[in-house]
C-alpha cells in the first residue's frame, strides 16, 4: 500500500506539471509529440526521415531522452534542427518535470511550430507519464512480434498514432502485419496506424503529411 501511495503522489505531481507544459506550449502555438517504443524500434531513424519532409513547412525543435550518451541528439543535429539532450541516468522514462526544465530553451528558439520529444526506449513506464504533449506516437517494429499490443497494452491504449516500422524486414520474420493491427485496434480502436520503413522510405511521406497537417491545424490531444 505504501509503494502505491508514493507512486500516486509522483504521478499526480507529474500530471500537474504536464498540464502546465501543455498550457505553455499551446499558448505559444507549439504542437508537441511524444514518441515512445522499445529500444531499437527506430524512433530516431523515423525522426531523421521525417525532418526533410517537414522542415520547409514548419519550424521544428527536438528533445532527445536517453539514459546515457547523446548519440541520438548528434544524429538529429546533422539536419540543422535545434536539439536538446536529456540524459536520465537510471530513470527509464522522461517525465513532465524533465520537459518543464527544457521548455525555456524551446521558447528561446525562433518560431518553433512543432516540438518532437523522443522518449527513452521502454514499452512500459512512458505510458504512465504524460509530458504535456498533444499527441503520443507509439512505434513498434515488425521484428518484435505481432503479440506486443496484447502484452504491453498501456503503451498502445495511451497512444494516438501507431507507426508499424521496419516493414521491409517483415518478409524475413513470422510477423503478421494484419494481426498486429488487429491486436493494436483491439486495445485501442481510435489508433491511427501507418506502416513505415526507414530503409525503403515506404509510408514516411504519408506519416509526415499527417503530422504536418495535424501540427499546422493545431489539433490538441485527441
Task: For residue 153, state whether it binds its own copies (rule: CB under 8 A).
Answer: yes
Interface pick for its own copies out of 109, 157, 173, 176 (rule CB under 8 A): 173
In the complex with its own copies, the residue whose CB is nearer, 64 or 134, is 64
Applying CB under 8 A, the span of 25-33, 106-114, 143-151, 210-218 interacting with its own copies comes to 143-151
Considering the rule CB under 8 A, would residue 166 count as an interface residue with its own copies?
A: yes
How many CB atoms are closer than 10 A to CB 208?
20
Q: Do 94 and 129 form a contact (C-beta atoms < 8 A)?
A: yes
Number of Cβ within 10 Å of residue 218's Cβ equals 12
CB of residue 111 to its own copies, shortest distance in Å? 32
Site for its own copies in 99-128 (CB under 8 A): 120-125, 128
Residue with C-alpha cell 524486414? 169
48-77 residues near its own copies, rule: CB under 8 A: 66-69, 71-72
Nearer to its own copies, 31 or 156 (CB): 156
- Which position among 29, 78, 92, 221 is part of the footprint of its own copies (CB under 8 A)? 92
- Does 98 bind its own copies (CB under 8 A)? Our answer is no
Selected from 58, 77, 169, 185, the binder of its own copies by CB under 8 A is 169
Q: Is residue 156 at the binding interface for its own copies, with CB under 8 A as the rule?
A: no
Contact flag: residue 12 with its own copies (CB under 8 A): no
- Contact status: 3 vs its own copies (CB under 8 A): yes
Amino acid at each position: 500500500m505504501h509503494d502505491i501511495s508514493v507512486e500516486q503522489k509522483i504521478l499526480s505531481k507529474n500530471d500537474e506539471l504536464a498540464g502546465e507544459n501543455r498550457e505553455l506550449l499551446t499558448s505559444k502555438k507549439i504542437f508537441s509529440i511524444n514518441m515512445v517504443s522499445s529500444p531499437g524500434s527506430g524512433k530516431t531513424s523515423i525522426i531523421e526521415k521525417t525532418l526533410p519532409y517537414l522542415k520547409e513547412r514548419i519550424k521544428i525543435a527536438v528533445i532527445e531522452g536517453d539514459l546515457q550518451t547523446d548519440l541520438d541528439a548528434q544524429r538529429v543535429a546533422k539536419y540543422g534542427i535545434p536539439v536538446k539532450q536529456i540524459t536520465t541516468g537510471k530513470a527509464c522514462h522522461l517525465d513532465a518535470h524533465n520537459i518543464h526544465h527544457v521548455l525555456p530553451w524551446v521558447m528561446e528558439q525562433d518560431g518553433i511550430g512543432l516540438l518532437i520529444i523522443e522518449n527513452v526506449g521502454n514499452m512500459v513506464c512512458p505510458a504512465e507519464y504524460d509530458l504535456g504533449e498533444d499527441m503520443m506516437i507509439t512505434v513498434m517494429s515488425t521484428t518484435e512480434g505481432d503479440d506486443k499490443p496484447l502484452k504491453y497494452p498501456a503503451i498502445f491504449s495511451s497512444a494516438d498514432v501507431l507507426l508499424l516500422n521496419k516493414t521491409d524486414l517483415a518478409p524475413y520474420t513470422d510477423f503478421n502485419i494484419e494481426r498486429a493491427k488487429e491486436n493494436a485496434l483491439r486495445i485501442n480502436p481510435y489508433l491511427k496506424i501507418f506502416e513505415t520503413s526507414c530503409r525503403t522510405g515506404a509510408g514516411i511521406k504519408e506519416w509526415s503529411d499527417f503530422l504536418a497537417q495535424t501540427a499546422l491545424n493545431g489539433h490538441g490531444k485527441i
